[in-house]
Amino acid sequence: MPMTEAPPAFTPVTLLTGFLGSGKTTLLRRLLADPALADTAVIINEFGEVALDHLLVERLDEDTVLLGSGCVCCTVRGELAATMRDLHSRRERGDVPMFRRLVIESTGLADPFPVLSTLRADPVLRHHFTAAGVVTTVDAVNGLAQLDRYVESMRQAAIADTIALTKTDIADPTASEALLARLQAINPAAPVLRVAERRLPVDALLRAGGNPFRAVAEPDGAAAHAKARAFSIVVDEPLDWSTFGIWLAMLLNRHGNRILRVKGLLALQGEARPVAVHGVQHLVHAPTHLQEWPDADRRSRLVFIVEGIDPDLIRRSFAAFARLGSAAAAALVSA
């Protein structure tokens, strides 16, 4: 790629996560061999057994720790911020080949949230990088047991925009079906892509954050996960944006660490086009104004993935605030 070409205004960042041994590095190696990723820089936590033959691979120091800040939204992984700033700076100077995309591979036990919060909280990074999505690898052989046994594995699946199912070529088909049902219960909005096949669905994987919004069906009891569950709220009447913001901010302040994911397509009062909101734990990305509705359904739809919270309480709270918003709007009009 010619060095004179300008970098994108916001370089998309894909977070590749997944439990220990679930095939993250193998997937990354295959992705990097694809011509579509020729202009991709990579940040990895450690050099594993699978060699990465790629121009731009940066390694994070293993002994760095999270900077415990005053509020969780500003949690910054200092070593990640420093590495990304350095990459950006070297790209600006022409010291490294132009890259137009960044992939960060997290460790198998890492909570992905601080990586996402670093992107937004760092005053330099948030002007040059944007979260493009989370790809989580799930091992078709051991994934079901890991989801049930390790909270880290469940959280990684819950926050995924796309789930990459690995090792399907060596897994028992019956076990794979049970795993798919469990993944559907934990994160029904995330497409599950089989990546063990020879042909890798590169486009679908990289489009992670750009997946169209999908309404979710309530998971059935048999497949439900013991801790995490997904549910949706559908609202007929257009929402008041001010009230929604106050409610969600209040909810995340108190329960953000147990609200693994919130994703919504909202019909707002006074807005002709839908607005999409998208959050992971305490962090909500800047809402996006979509050009049009994806289908004929014009109702607001919110999908939550929660850990240990009764969905009925969230539904009740949402409804109480919606009533409050209507009353406040009426008071403002009459004032």
Partner 1 sequence: MCALCGSLGGDEHWTDAVARDGVFTRNRDSARRRLERARRVEVANRVLKLYGLRLSDWQGTSFLLSTFTGKSEMVGDLGHLWAAAERLSGRACDPLDPDFLSRLDADD
Q: For residues 36 and 328, which CB has a smaller minimum distance to partner 1 in the complex?
A: 328
Task: Mark residues 60-99: x for contact with partner 1 by CB under 8 A, - for none.
Answer: ---------xxx-xx-x-----------------------
Shortest Å distance, C-beta 150 to partner 1: 26
The verdict on 1 binding partner 1 (CB under 8 A) reads no
Residue 285, interface with partner 1 (CB under 8 A)? yes
Q: How far apart are CA 253 and CA 282, in angstroms?
A: 7
Q: Tell me the window of 58-66, 178-186, 198-206, 277-285 that interacts with partner 1 (CB under 8 A).
A: 277-285
> Is the CB of residue 40 less than 8 Å from the CB of residue 56?
yes
Contact (CB, 8 A) for 138 and 18: yes
Neighbours of 261 (CB within 10 A): 25
Name the minimum Å distance from CB 248 to partner 1.
8
By CB under 8 A, the residues from 214 to 273 that bind partner 1 are 240-243, 245-247, 249-251, 253-255, 271
| Closer CB to partner 1, 200 or 306, in the complex | 306
- Determine the 3-state secondary structure of 30 from DSSP: helix
E-assigned strand segments in the chain:
11-18, 40-44, 57-59, 101-105, 129-139, 162-166, 192-194, 228-235, 259-266, 275-280, 283-284, 288-289, 300-307
Q: Which of 59, 149, 289, 298 binds partner 1 (CB under 8 A)?
A: 289
| Residue from 22, 279, 303, 305 binding partner 1 (CB under 8 A) | 279
Interaction of residue 292 with partner 1, rule CB under 8 A: no
Q: Does position 332 bind partner 1 by CB under 8 A?
A: yes
**Long-range contacts of 207-210, Cβ-Cβ distance < 8 Å, separation of 24 or more:** 207/133, 207/162, 208/14, 208/132, 208/133, 208/134, 208/135, 208/160, 208/161, 208/162, 209/12, 209/14, 209/131, 209/132, 209/133, 209/134, 209/161, 209/278, 210/132, 210/133
Whichever of 140 and 280 has its CB closer to partner 1, that residue is 280
CB 228 within 8 A of CB 260: yes
Please give the Cα distance from 160 to 131 (Å, whole number).
12
Binding string, 122-161, against partner 1, x = CB under 8 A? xx--x-----------------------------------
- For residues 309 to 328, the per-residue mask of contacts with partner 1, x marking binding by CB under 8 A and - elsewhere, is xx--xx-xx--xx-xxx-xx
Residues that bind partner 1 (CB under 8 A): 69-71, 73-74, 76, 120-123, 126, 240-243, 245-247, 249-251, 253-255, 271, 275, 277, 279, 284-289, 309-310, 313-314, 316-317, 320-321, 323-325, 327-329, 331-332
